[in-house]
Structure 1
Amino acid sequence: MSSTRSLAPRVIRLSALTTALWTLPGASWAGGILIYEAGQEGAGLANAGAAALATDPSVLMNNPAGLTELPGTQISANGQVIFGDITFSRDAGNQFDGNEGGNALQYLPGTSLFVSHQINDQASIGFGMYGNFGLALDYDDDWAGRYFTQESAIIGVSLQPTYAYKINDDLSIGFGPRMMYAYYRTEVAVNNNLLGLADRPDGQLEYEDTDFGVGFNIGLLYRLDERTQVGLAYTSKVDLEFSDRPSVDDISNPLLNLALRRLDVDNLDIDMEVPQTAVLSIAHDLDPQWKLLASLGWQDWSEFGNIGVEVDADNFGTSRTVDRQYKDTWHASVGAQYQATHQLRWSMGVGYDSSAVDDEDRTVDNPMAESWRLAAGVNYQVDEGLDLHMVYTLIWLGDMDVEQTKQRSGNSLSGSYDNAALHVIGGGATWRF
């Protein structure tokens, strides 16, 4: 599963202040998975065959070796928008006042650009600029979970120069450094109610920073026979380190002021780890019209779970061992392409991602869950040098129960997200020279 709180599906690890007084949230990914969609034609396949299918330069994002399958020079430009419904509902176990927050999922537009060039019969180069994670959650300021999060966003843009080489007629290898520029921002309310004996307005904490990290993508593409290709690709982790002075306003609780001084929030570091991933894909030409595709993937979410430091207005104290119990996730997808005419090609796919958290470990700042993808797309060849495409993906998260408790005070935020879903609409063009 491009913000970020829902981005829940993200591949990241975070070290910061969380809960009680406030929670500095990590990137939220829709449902706890990476966002596979970047507006490209392959988005209509729910990631099926992503590392084995090379129809345009966007393949370098999934498997750099696929560039050897593309003749001449090709340019693919894409755009998309992500929207949906992530709405919290309280239940009888909730102990916080405030409303239910409204639909926390913002509209998130995105673009991508991919270029490939065949140097000779064996070597190809390419370049990609894309964002495969980045969603944002924006709750009402006075909602019941405001002391955990009000608003958060993480936007990551990757730049990837790529080199691919065909070792022989059947085997190709590709490699590309992945340079990621990331923006992170969060807002959370501060509870000034001292030991429950005073009635003070909430304070506010804001944190914002950018960082640059580097990883790499590497892949193999092997032709089993004239009709079948297998791709294997690996994406390394990317370490991001945000460091900024939080903006803390209207703190009238003396215990909180003391706790903040002890925590040295004048220089708050947040370390995020965009997880490593691996994917195995197959593409098989059933006949001249039908192509069948499938993928199996793994994402290293277990490196995302430690989030330190808690401060509580009702019970002064700090902790630096808040473990969210994240676990690795698995992906499976199947899909098909149908070449209806020489100009018209249809795509369809279904995919499943396991959840990075168990139900008892889910949090409102990163509401992750298992998810299903249903995707469809169409590609139309205007002429020999120009293709246009449109794609749609439904990411279904379903019902997500949440019971999040401040470790120090024991107060609980309890409820659920019912029928949570994301919609991704994209389109673009590919030019061939």
Structure 2
Amino acid sequence: MKQKYLPLLIAVALSSLSASALASGYRFGSQSVAAQGTADANAAEANDASTIFYNPAGMSRLEGTQVNFGATVVVPHSTFQDSGSTHFTGAPTGGTAAHGYAPDNVTAPSLYASKKLNDQWAVGLGLFVPYGAKLNYGNTWTGRYALTDVKLEAVTLNPSASFKLNEHHAFGFGIMAEHFNADLGQAVDVPGSIAALSSPAAAATRAQLIGTIVALGGNPAALAAANDAHASITGKDWGYGFNLGYMFTLDQNTRFGFAYRSSVAHGLKGDATWDFSMVTTDQITNHVLAASGHRLNSASMVKLRTPETLSANVFHQFDAKWDGMADLTWSRHSRLSDLHIQFPNTVEGDLVINQQWKNTVRVAVGANYRYDDKVTLRGGVAYDQSPVPSAQLRDPALPDSDRYQFSLGAAYKLSPKSTIDVAYSFLHFKDADTSYTNSCNPLNPTCTGNGETTRGTYKTHLQLLGVAYNYKF
């Protein structure tokens, strides 16, 4: 039935949207290679046009016209060790118990441009990928009834402007237009449902199912060797929001910044497609199984608002060689506690999913070292909390946990007008246990999932490799 798999689309969307704030959740990619080199501690530095993302007030410090374009490759390394995943019946799900689910590498490009109009005003435009992921657990892993695969792609367009009041105060603002696509898959627990029909309490239901198969000319004996069915979900949406920035320049060596990125309203619309063709060798039996479970291709929709973020940062130049910087970012994930899923043009009520996510904090510190007139070296460390509060709420679409980031970077001046930035980051996630349960019985026509429990431990680390080019006109 169409309700069962929409929650997967929402879970995946949320895990990605949290990344758009460079806070917690699945944080893929980087919005700036220079920032990545300091573990994103340099929001108050405002060294190039990527300040449009971190603090648009920083454009007041940029001269002339500047462009910045780059790309960051994310290389995930993740393994899952099963510790007793079960069907809704309590029987083991079977399948692969220990494996690397091998997410594909993800490349996140970015493009920024700024122009100083006069001594007070500057304008700019940012185009970046706030999140993107490819996870492929395969169709035979123990948690396949929760998720088999997912692909996420997002693009944000962020026109911005800054106003410099005087030598100490500058303000910035921008508009966000955010588009994302989501594709995912999940196994349908046909074997578990057939096994449950073998109980004495379900004898009448089983007899009715067999009678229908026989009446249509099918072979009920095929039920004994039934395989999983599969569901595929797609969804897309545009959402809009805004960001604000303020920068206080104490003197030529010290400045402080504050930035706010609003929540974004989304009305996610998608389609659910069901494939029962491989469940048995008898297509009539497959058709009856699909119809009896109300598996109908249909549309679905959910309205949600993503978490807003608030950041405070500082930059200080100690001497001709050294700069120090720090950033503290708070994300309001608690607004994602309840999700109300709607089914347009049906008589069904909302489906409510309780995420119980918590607010999170990310703290980063970094430094620049000017080796000579052409080479600047960078480094930084960060600690990032996860919004997932417990193993019971850790969905396979977001096997997230608190993480540490260690970054190194460098900038090389090709000419007085052009610079190349490179960066490398290593993100270590704490081992993450899961005992996620979808508490329902698939035999119930109003059921909202497979009723599985996924138990196991995730071990994850990421590597990020970034390169960018800056040019000043």
If the TM-score is normalised by the length of the shorter chain, which range does it land in? 0.7 to 0.9
Structure 1 residues 215, 411: closer, same or farther in 2, change over 3 A?
A: closer
Q: Does 1:26 align with 2:12?
A: yes
SS at match of 2:142: coil
TM-fit CA distance, 1:224? 1.8
Shift of 1:207: 1.3
Are residue 191 (structure 1) and residue 189 (structure 2) matched? yes
- Residue 246 (structure 1) aligned to one of 272, 275, 285: 272
**Residue 166 of structure 1 corresponds to which residue in structure 2?**
164
Query: For 1:178 and 1:319, how far apart are their aligned partners in 2?
Result: 29
CA distance in 1, matches of 2:361, 2:100: 31
Q: Which residue of 2 aligns with 1:384?
A: 416
- In 2: Cα distance, 1:43 partner to 1:17 partner: 40
Q: Which residue of 1 aligns with 2:468?
A: 428
Amino acid at match of 2:363: A
TM-aligned CA distance change 1:33 to 1:246, over 3 Å: closer
Structure-2 separation of matches of 1:18 and 1:347: 48
* Inter-partner Cα distance in structure 2 for 1:421 and 1:164: 37
> Which residue of structure 1 aligns with residue 213 of structure 2?
none
> Partners of 1:429 and 1:150 in 2: how far apart?
38
Mapping for residues 217-232 of structure 1, pairs under 5 Å:
217-232=243-258
Structure 1 22/303 Cα, relative in aligned 2: closer, same or farther at 3 Å? closer
Identify the residue that residue 269 of structure 1 maps to in structure 2.
Answer: 301
| Paired position in structure 2 for 1:312 | none
CA distance in structure 1 between the aligned counterparts of 2:32 and 2:140, rounded to whole angstroms: 35
Q: Pick from 72, 75, 90 the counterpart of residue 64 of structure 2.
A: 72
For 1:346-357, list aligned pairs within 5 A: 346-357=377-388
In the alignment, structure 1 residue 339 sits paired with structure 2 residue 379: no
Are the equivalent residues in 2 in contact too, given 1:297–1:331 (CA < 8 A)? yes
State the match for 2:31 in structure 1: 38
SS in structure 1 of the partner of residue 57 of structure 2: helix
Q: CA deviation at 1:62?
A: 0.8
Q: Cα deviation per residue 1:289-322 (whole Å; 9 max; x = unaligned)?
A: 111100111112122343567xxxxxxxx99233
Q: How many Å separate the matches in 1 of 2:8 and 2:71? A: 32
Q: Does structure 1 residue 364 correspond to structure 2 residue 356? A: no
Tell me if structure 1 keeps the 8 A contact 2:84–2:454: no
Q: For residues 264-343 of structure 1, what are the structure 2 equivalents within 5 Å? A: 266-307=298-339, 320-343=351-374
Which residue number in structure 1 is paired with residue 294 of structure 2? 260
2:201 match: none
| Unmatched runs of 5 consecutive residues or more in structure 1 | 1-15, 310-317
**Kept in 2: contact 1:17–1:307 (CA 8 A):** no
1:205 and 1:131 mapped to 2: Cα distance?
A: 27
Letter in 1 for 2:275: D
CA distance in 2, matches of 1:385, 1:209: 43
Q: How far apart, in 2, do the equivalents of 1:239 and 1:256 lie?
A: 35
Report the CA distance between 1:253 and its aligned residue: 8.3
Task: Quote the offset at 1:23 in angstroms.
Answer: 3.5
Matched positions, count:
407
1:223-259 C-alpha deviation (Å, 9 max, x unpaired): 1223110010000111222223311111748676455
**Alpha-carbon distance in structure 2 between the residues aligned to 1:186 and 1:211:** 15
Counterpart of 1:135 in structure 2 is 133
**Partners of 1:36 and 1:43 within 8 A in 2:** no
Deviation at 1:72, TM superposition (A): 0.7
Matching residue of 1:97: 94
Q: Tell me the distance in 1 between the aligned counterparts of 2:182 and 2:70.
A: 24
In the TM superposition, residue 67 of structure 1 has moved relative to its aligned partner by 0.4
Aligned amino acid, residue 93 of structure 2: F
Q: Separation in 2 of the partners of 1:22 and 1:399?
A: 25
More off after superposition, 131-140 vs 26-35 = 26-35
TM-score normalized with structure 2 length: 0.80
Residue from 431, 455, 458 that aligns with 1:414: 455
CA contact (8 A) 1:33 1:353 kept: no
How far, CA to CA, are the matches of 1:415 and 1:79 in structure 2?
Answer: 34
Equivalent-residue separation in structure 1 for 2:468 and 2:106 (angstroms): 17
Offset, 1:415: 0.6
Provide the residue aligned with 1:7 in structure 2: none
Q: Is the 8 A contact 2:381 2:407 kept in 1?
A: yes
Contact 1:111-1:131 at 8 Å conserved across structures: yes
Q: Distance in 2 between matches of 1:63 and 1:172?
A: 10
1:313 aligned residue:
none
Other structure's SS at 1:260 match: coil
Which residue pairs with 1:11 in the alignment? none
Please state how far the C-alpha of 1:93 moved relative to its aligned partner. 6.0
TM-score by length of 1: 0.87
Q: For residues 152 and 96 of structure 2, what CA distance do their matches in structure 1 show? A: 25
Equivalent positions of 1:78-93 (< 5 A) are 78-92=70-84
1:278 shift after superposition: 0.9
Q: Report the CA distance shift for 1:308/1:206 in structure 2 as closer, same or farther (over 3 A).
A: farther
Q: Does the 8 Å CA contact 1:96/1:413 hold for their aligned counterparts? A: no
Bigger mean CA deviation after superposition, 357-366 or 324-333: 357-366
Equivalent pair of 2:29/2:73 in contact (CA under 8 Å): no
* From 427, 435, 438, the counterpart of 1:395: 427
Q: Secondary structure of 1:26's partner?
A: helix
Contact 1:289 1:338 (C-alpha < 8 Å) held by counterparts: yes
Task: From the CA coordinates, give the structure whose radius of gyration is larger.
Answer: 2
Q: Cα offset for 1:273?
A: 3.2
Q: 1:62–1:275: structure 2 CA closer, same or farther, 3 Å change rule? A: same
Q: Which amino acid aligns with 1:220?
A: Y
Q: How far did residue 411 of structure 1 move? A: 4.3
Q: Is 1:181 matched up with 2:179? A: yes
SS of 1:383's equivalent in the other structure is coil
- Give me the whole-angstrom Cα distance separating, in 2, the residues matched to 1:119 and 1:319: 50
Task: Quote the offset at 1:185 in angstroms.
Answer: 1.0
Q: 1:255 to 1:330 in 2, by over 3 A?
A: farther
Structure 2, gaps ≥5 residues long = 87-91, 199-222, 278-285, 342-348, 442-450
